[in-house]
Structure 1
């Protein structure tokens, strides 16, 4: 399974960028996702990445 970048729009109008990684959970017996916020989109539509 792989990683991909997804966009989620919050109620306040900000669009956040997440790295979504799907993986197989052996204990639970099904696939699941792990999402990490990597930044947001600016007013001009350009990505602003987190600095940490």
Structure 2
């Protein structure tokens, strides 16, 4: 494999590792949130009440 290709693969791997770290942080943050199940079922994503 050429040196250029190896450098590109190393850069790609580094970016994937950053992405994985950010996704892990997002999952952890979402799991830490306490959400009222009734509230989730009675509002739309924009916060307006259903029905």
Superposed pair shares fold, TM > 0.5: no
Higher strand residue share? 1
Higher helix residue share? 2
TM-score by length of 1: 0.19
TM-score by length of 2: 0.19
Answer with 1 or 2: which has the greater Rg. 2
